[in-house]
Amino acid sequence: MKVVKNKDSIVVYNPEDFNVVQTLECGQIFRFNIEGNSATVYSKDKRAKLYTYNDRIEIKTSDVDYFYNFFDFSTDYSKIKNELKNDTFLSSAVKYGYGIRILKNDLFEMIVSFIISANNNIARIKKSIEYLCQHFGTKMTDYYAFPTLDELKHATVVDYKDAGLGYRAEQMYETISKLTNKDIENLKSMDEAEQFKFLINLKGIGEKVANCILLFGIGRKDVFPVDTWINKVYNRLTNTQTTNRKLITRELTNRYGNLSGYAQQYFFYYFRDNKLS
DNA sequence: GCCCAGGGATGCG
DNA sequence: CGCATCCATGGG
């Protein structure tokens, strides 16, 4: 695989470690659109359009540096996959999701998005987030940016209910009220244990959501978010029937260590896409 | 009409 | 800690 940066595009030749559909549909991002061989991705106030051809993927954007980092092109995924393929649980999931990359998305966007994600389905999560963008985000040329913290502070509990947040509306309101821009800034440089503590003390954020924020918003790969699908994965692979997520989180994190975040994404995509249970 | 969704908060022991 | 119950709402 070879990645070339141009003035207003990134071109990925022989993309054996990058597949657009897999990367967008493995549940780490909610603002995207897929139309045939093209796709549009939004992050923060930025946008990129991706075109998949036989021998290459072209990423058109006015912010090449942002999306080069966003798609994490400086990381060699063939190494990671080779390690994880040796794991008996993971080998087929890694082959299936060979082109998944873990995106480096915006921290604040991930906090808001994954509070909405709790006990929710992806179609509805996408709708709610799109509503917040259209009503509170800055209008760009022909799309809306994700609202900033200061912009979201204008939203009321009723606004969040109108966005379809349901019982998460009060939680979101309280968390947005309490958060400051300094908090978001400081979070990135905090001690790892303190990052988790800070997040979990916010309303609407428990262990799973906190780990998603750490993984997708800060790039921590040593965390293993356990949702209903990973619960199914665990029970199938260990031939158990537990619902104890703390136990599952502990055991899977121990098993995969610093590759936990990657392993989790391969599992999630493989099981969910094939509706396995 | 039912079950489920990238779970969290709260209360109980 | 571990477990039970409740929580809005739309998708399939």
Closest nucleotide C1' to the C-alpha of A277: B4
Enumerate the nucleotides of strand B whose atoms come under 7 Å of any protein CB.
4-9
Per-residue pLDDT of A106-133, as tens digits, reads 999 999 999 999 999 999 999 999 999 9
Residue A247 has pLDDT above 90, yes or no: yes
High-pLDDT (> 90) share of chain A, %: 99
- Nearest residue by alpha-carbon distance to C1' of C7: A167
Angle at alpha carbon of residue A74, lines to A16 and A22, rounded to 5°:
40
Nucleotides of C under 7 A from a protein CB: 1-4, 7-12
Nucleotide nearest to A164 (CA to C1'): C9
Query: Could you report the per-residue pLDDT of A195-208, keeping only the tens digit for each?
Result: 999 999 999 999 99
pLDDT for the residue A228: 95
Sheet holding A38-43, edge to edge: A2-5, A9-13, A56-60, A46-52, A38-43, A32-35
Is this structure's pTM higher than 0.95? yes
In Å, what is the separation between the CA of A185 and the C1' of B12? 38
What whole-number distance in Å separates Cα of residue A12 and Cα of residue A56? 5
Report DSSP letters for chain A, one per residue: -EEEE-SSEEEEES-TT--HHHHHSSSS--SEEEETTEEEEEETTEEEEEEE-SSEEEEE-S-HHHHHHHTTTTS-HHHHHHHHHTSTTTHHHHHHTTT-------HHHHHHHHHHTTT--HHHHHHHHHHHHHHHSPB-SSSBPPPPHHHHTT--HHHHHHTT-TTHHHHHHHHHHH--HHHHHHHHHS-HHHHHHHHHTSTT--HHHHHHHIIIII---S-----HHHHHHHHHHHT-----HHHHHHHHHHHHGGGHHHHHHHHHHHHHHTT--
Q: What is the pLDDT of residues A74-100, one digit of tens each?
A: 999 999 999 999 999 999 999 999 999
Check pLDDT > 90 for residue A277.
Answer: no
Q: Which residue is nearest to nucleotide C2 (CA to C1')?
A: A244
Position A182 pLDDT exceeds 90:
yes
pLDDT at residue A217, rounded to an integer: 98
**Residues lining strand B, beta carbon within 7 angstroms:** A 26-28, 117-125, 167, 171, 200, 202-210, 212, 225-230, 264-265, 268, 272
Q: Mean pLDDT over all residues of chain A?
A: 97
Q: Which of residues 102-161 of A touch strand C (CB under 7 A)?
A: 119-121, 123-124, 127, 161
Residue closest to B6, CA→C1'?
A227
Tell me which protein residue sits closest to nucleotide B4, measuring alpha carbon to C1': A121
